[in-house]
Each structure stands twice: as structure tokens, then as C-alpha cells.
Amino acid sequence: MSAMTRVLVTGGAGFIGSCIVDQLVKRGTDVVVLDNLSPAAHSARPGYLNAAAEYVWGDVRDVAAWDRALDGVTAVCHQAGKVGLGVDFGDATAYVDDNDVGWVVGLTALHQRRFTGRIVLASSMVVYGEGRYRCAVDGIVRPGPRLLDDLDSGRFEPRCPLCSGVLDAEPIPEDAPLEPRNVYAATKLHQEHLTAAFAREHDVEACWLRYHNVYGPRMPRNTPYAGVASIVRSALERGEAPGVTEDGHQRRDFVHVGDVANANVTALLGDTPIVGAVNIGSGTPRSVLQMAEGLAVAMGSIPGDERWPTVTGLYRLGDVRHVFASTATAADLHGLRPLMSFDDGMREFATARLRESVNPS
């Protein structure tokens, strides 16, 4: 795209958004940020904000804030919103309001301006629900929601819905069935659908990047909305043994925030447009227990000491067992390959500065 590109990054004061801003500025891009500095994510204005960007302090649910931020904008990178599973269904209104209403207000503002530039939406692997599973007898199958009796009894692995046989988890591709299993996941899928509808009607290039488990500097801590890597690190810093849910063998794809930011910048500025859904992950799954132990080692803990991760057997009903990315689309079609290895990422994250929040509302 042209060097005169002006990019709006919503949520650009946050964890992922601020890293995207940094990379855009480094590329010589004109950047404007729209962020409301929500106390659920920020205790104060962050000290890491890039001085080369322009900042509009406002809420994505406010059309006037979008109007102030959109002047001259030729590409939009939407990162703002409420993340994580939340506490319980009582959070549903807040999630729908922040994520769905906030985005449709923005799309309406773009519609009114007859916007024709690129749109990049932050989506999530949670839209898949459970990951991809293969049965030795029945092939690729879709297990149903896990049952409370199984979870209470410590039976965490899903079974084949046809023969009840053992399943093997596989990397999940973008064309897999979508089955969001919690409120946050439902809002992200709705955002994807809204983006697709806008793109069709306005003939614009739009993609939704399905982030897997992102970690790295500037992650929020001390909030139930923080990512699992941040929760583990906070426990280690307090001198506590991090508690790992279920049996610890549930697998995820932990991807560094720098690689996620690079994917966004490529989608915004690359010569070849990226359209539709793209998984953004490392391509190398790890169990949650492996992540916790890797981070513990990086922070000076050893097996048997008081900070070594422990398996709790507890579970969250809205969680899934295994979900990790097929990164073939990102790598083979778009040249998006991770630069940060898992071991190097854990070593960096062990001392990376996290972001404080004042309350989890």
C-alpha cells in the first residue's frame, strides 16, 4: 500500500494494539489510536505509548469518538474490546456491548464515510469451540460439549460422538466448523460476520485474524480477564505455585505478541491483500502444563520447590480441551511465519513488564 497510509488502531493503548502501533510507526506509517483506557485493563495511561502516534481518547461505542478518529484514515485495525472468558454469564451484557455494539458503531461510521480501505479485525481461536479431532474408526468428528459428570470425575478428554472411542487432536484449519462455547466466543464470531457483511456490501478488503494464545510484554495482570500465561507469571512472582486446571494436558498454541503484531501490519500494509479468516499462531502446540513449567524454569524455579506448578483438577465449564492452529494459510499463502520460539519467548516473558489494572469490571 501507499506510504501515505493512515491507519486507525482501536485499542491501540492495549497489549496487542500498542505493539501493532509500534511496528506501524517503525514502518513510517501515520497512526491514530482510539482507546478508552478502560480501568479493567489500565490503572493509568501507559508509559509505553508511542509518542509518534496520535491519540483519541474515547469509547468505540460512541460514534462521535469514531468521527474524531477517522479523519484521513485509509485502513482500520480493530483491536478494542473485552477479552477472556469473564467470570460468569453475568458478564454477557458487557461483552456484547463492548465487542458487538462497539464494532457495529464503528462499521456504521465507516459506512457513512463511504470507506474503501482495508479492515483488519482481531478475532480469536475461541470461535472454533473445541479443536479438530480424528477418530481411528470414524475419521474427522465433532465432539459435543463436555459433560459435567465427566469433568467432575476427571475425564477431560472428549470422546467420539459416534463410537465413544478415543480421539486424537489435530491442528485446526480456518474452514473448520465454528461453534463458540462461551459469550466472548460468540461476540468474536458475530464481529467476523459483521465484518464480512460490511466487506461484501462495500467491496473492501477485510480479514479477521484468529489469534491463538497470545503472550508477551504489556499483558494485563491482576484481572480475571488476563491470559493464562499472565496468570501463571503473577503467581510465580508472588512466590506461589501456579495452579493448572484439569490435568494440565490440554493443548494450546502460545504465540508471541510480536508475531501477532507483525501479522496485523502485513495485513494492513502488504502489497497482496489478506482476505477472510487466518489463524495466527506459532504452529507448535504446547500443553498448559508445559507452558507453566517452561515459564517457571525461566523464572528460576525447579521441580519440587514451592513455586513449581501444580495440577488442580479444577475446570471452567466454558473452556475446551484442545485447540491449536493450523498455520498453513498464514505461512504458505501470506508468508507469515513466527520469529519467536517458545523457549526464547518464555525467557523474555519471565522478566517482561506487565500492565496493571485497577479493577476487573
Hey, how many other C-beta atoms are within 10 angstroms of the C-beta on 306? 8
d(CA 277, CA 209): 6
C-alpha cell at 172: 485446526
SS3 content of the chain, % helix, strand, coil (to 5): 35, 20, 50
Alpha carbon distances (Å) from 139 to 13, 87, 282, 328: 45, 36, 26, 21
Alpha carbon distances (Å) from 45 to 39, 63, 248, 358: 10, 23, 36, 12
d(CA 128, CA 276): 15
Residue of 115, 76, 78, 118 whose CA lies nearest to 272: 118
Residue of 164, 166, 176, 158 whose CA lies nearest to 315: 158
Amino acid (one-letter) located at 197: A
**Residue 173 DSSP label:** P
d(CA 98, CA 77): 16
Kindly give the pairing relationship between strand 286-287 and strand 118-124.
unpaired
- In terms of Cβ atoms closer than 10 Å to its own Cβ (0-12, 13-18, 19+), residue 254 is buried
d(CA 291, CA 29): 35
What is the set of active-site residues? 184
